[in-house]
């Protein structure tokens, strides 16, 4: 507590930032967001018709990518435009959850230096008020007071710099995950579109084959 009472909010910010970093590191693991081989497996389900409600529920609850693909499969019998809209709507919710607490981490990175500067200013004001009341007195004591005031600035920067770096890192990781999920969703959408286009063609061919031959003119 050498920096005075202004160190209290800085310490609170450091504890909150550490909790957010640990939670996001665990939540944003690649295998948790983008399970390996899930996109190929889901497309195989779509081709073979293994799409009962239990499959879709398990898929949606398994990972963010699974939730995105399950939203497309839930409306697979609709038009391409409607499926695409459902993917986009679900994607916004998924990205919002992946970015949870990142705004708080960015706020801590922003206010950390300000809190440190505030504590330094308060400490210097208190020191100069004491000088005005009792004179300069011991210069060593005055230098020690300045050092104690600067502790707040150093502490604020110590909290803010890692928080800013990690905030940018997590933002970049989420952006990369979004690109990968978009690729998987587009591949599934193409498969569903091709399957929907092939379904009406088969009945038409079957009907043409079973139709009686037209009588000849002779």
The pLDDT, as a whole number, for residue 211 is 45
The pLDDT, as a whole number, for residue 153 is 87
Decide which of 152 and 173 is more confident: 173
124-139 b/e with 16+ CB inside 10 Å = b?
A: eeebeeeeeeeeeeee
Confirm if 127 and 146 have CB atoms less than 8 A apart. Answer: yes
Least confident window among 106-115, 129-138, 177-186: 129-138
Q: Could you identify the residue written with the tokens 């939203």?
A: 71
pLDDT band at 198 (very low <50, low <70, confident <90, very high): low
**How confident is the model over 119-155, as pLDDT tens digits?**
888 877 777 776 666 666 556 556 666 777 788 888 8
Percent over 70 (pLDDT), the chain: 79
Q: Does 199 have pLDDT greater than 70?
A: no
Q: Does 97 have pLDDT greater than 50?
A: yes
- pTM recorded for the entire structure: 0.79
**How many angstroms separate the most distant Cα atoms in the chain?**
130
Decide which of 209 and 2 is more confident: 2
The pLDDT, as a whole number, for residue 98 is 94
The pLDDT, as a whole number, for residue 209 is 46
């Amino acid at each position: 507590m050498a920096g005075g009472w202004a160190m209290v909010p800085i310490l609170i910010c450091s504890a909150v930032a550490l909790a957010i970093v640990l939670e996001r590191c665990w939540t944003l693991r690649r295998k948790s967001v983008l399970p390996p081989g899930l996109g190929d497996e889901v497309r195989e389900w779509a081709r073979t018709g293994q799409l009962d409600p239990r499959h879709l529920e398990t898929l949606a609850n398994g990972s963010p990518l699974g939730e995105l693909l399950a939203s497309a499969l839930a409306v697979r019998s609709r038009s391409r435009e409607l499926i695409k809209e459902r993917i986009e709507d679900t994607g916004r919710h998924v990205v919002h959850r992946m970015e949870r607490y990142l705004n708080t981490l960015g706020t801590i990175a922003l206010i950390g230096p300000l809190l440190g500067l505030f504590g330094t200013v308060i400490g210097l004001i208190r020191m100069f008020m004491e000088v005005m009341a009792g004179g300069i007195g011991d210069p060593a004591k005055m230098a020690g007071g300045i050092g104690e005031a600067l502790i707040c600035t150093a502490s604020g920067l110590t909290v803010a710099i890692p928080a800013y770096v990690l905030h940018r890192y997590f933002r970049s990781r989420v952006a990369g995950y979004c690109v990968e999920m978009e690729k998987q969703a587009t591949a599934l959408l193409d498969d569903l579109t091709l399957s929907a286009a092939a379904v009406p063609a088969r009945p038409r061919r079957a009907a043409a084959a079973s139709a009686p031959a037209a009588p000849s003119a002779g």
